[in-house]
Amino acid sequence: MSKLLIAGNWKMNNTVEAAEQLVRAIEENLESTIDVEVILCPPFTSLSKVAELTNKNSIKVGAQNVYHEQKGAFTGEISPEMIKELCEYVIIGHSERRLILGETNKIVNMKITAAINKGLNIILCVGETLEQRERGKTQEIIREQLTQSLSDIQRIENITIAYEPVWAIGTGISASTMDCKNGIETIRSILQEMYGELTAQSTKILYGGSVNPQNIEALLREAGIDGGLIGGASLNAESFVSIINKSNIFSQKTGSND
């Protein structure tokens, strides 16, 4: 298996100055040997500064969103080409963009296609709302989001999937390890149908939704995840570093990076 991956999604938080302080605090407290891939995803305004600060260490940088066109009259949007100058990862299809900003699976698919064409690595988010979960539609929603978002995408070597049940994001209520395991298994099953067993098993699948230092070990051990997409806890250096360090210890014990 490849390295575990821990990505911090800062969302709409931190000025450039605050971003710099957070990065320096994270760097100062990380263990010297890290067998975990770490990605920081700041707002666009801080991408350049965070990229500069992490240029000489192993921390990677990602954007939180991208537009599906490479250039043109699209006021306020940021193209894959622009992102590529600053970082190598981009989050696409986060539930907040789907629910608050109305992004459809078709739009997500266009963004993925544009990002792939520029060689960006993608973290694709999928997950069900509380209403969908209560109606027993979790598997149906995950299937719909995956198949439509990845429509006509022939190869997914540079795509990581993040399973984020919407009802667990920012609520302090993490999905149980069984909920998480079931979601991960559903995703792998669908990927196997679409791309074959080898790709399904080699694709990294993260969990996101109220991940914290207290539950990361259980999630890694029992749910079969390859890391986490961390929201609120990534805004606190102590919490984020604790998640990384505990993931690192788990990786070393289990040989996840072999």
| Residues 78-104 pLDDT 10s | 999 999 999 999 999 999 999 999 999
Q: Rounded to whole angstroms, how far apart are CA atoms 206 and 8? A: 12
Catalytic residue among 37, 103, 128, 164: 164
Residue 233's contacts (CB-CB under 8 Å, 6 or more residues apart) are 211, 212, 213, 239, 240, 243
pTM of the model: 0.95
Residue 47: in which H helix or E strand, if any? helix 44-53
Which of the listed ranges 171-175, 198-202, 207-211, 253-257 does the model predict with the highest average pLDDT?
Answer: 198-202
Provide the CA 1 distance to its chain's centre, in angstroms.
Answer: 18
Query: What is the mean predicted confidence (pLDDT) over 218-246?
Result: 95
Please choose, from the candidates 70, 148, 68, the residue with its C-alpha nearest in 3D space to the C-alpha of residue 113. 68
- What average pLDDT does the structure give for the chain? 93
Catalytic residue among 37, 68, 94, 103: 94
The amino acid present at 4, given as its one-letter code, is L
Query: What is the mean predicted confidence (pLDDT) over 142-170?
Result: 94
Residue 258 DSSP SS3: coil
Q: Is 94 a catalytic residue?
A: yes
Which pLDDT score, from 0 to 100, does residue 186 have? Answer: 96
Domain count, the chain: 1
Q: Is 164 a catalytic residue?
A: yes
Q: Rounded to whole angstroms, how far apart are CA atoms 212 and 230? A: 8
Task: Count CB neighbours of 31 within 10 A.
Answer: 12
Are the beta carbons of 91 and 65 closer than 8 angstroms? yes
Task: Assign 257 a pLDDT band (cuts: 50, 70, 90).
Answer: low
Please choose, from the candidates 150, 145, 158, 201, the residue with its C-alpha nearest in 3D space to the C-alpha of residue 1. 201
Are the beta carbons of 127 and 166 closer than 8 angstroms? yes
Query: What is the mean predicted confidence (pLDDT) over 2-29?
Result: 96
| Residue numbers of the domain that contains 179 | 4-254
Q: Rounded to whole angstroms, how far apart are CA atoms 253 and 250? A: 5
CATH of the domain at 157: 3.20.20.70
Which pLDDT score, from 0 to 100, does residue 32 have? Answer: 65
Q: Rounded to whole angstroms, how far apart are CA atoms 184 and 223? A: 8
Question: What letter would DSSP give residue 52?
Answer: H
Instruction: Give me the residue label for tokens 């679409």.
Output: 194
Which pLDDT score, from 0 to 100, does residue 242 have? Answer: 96
Which pLDDT score, from 0 to 100, does residue 256 have? Answer: 59
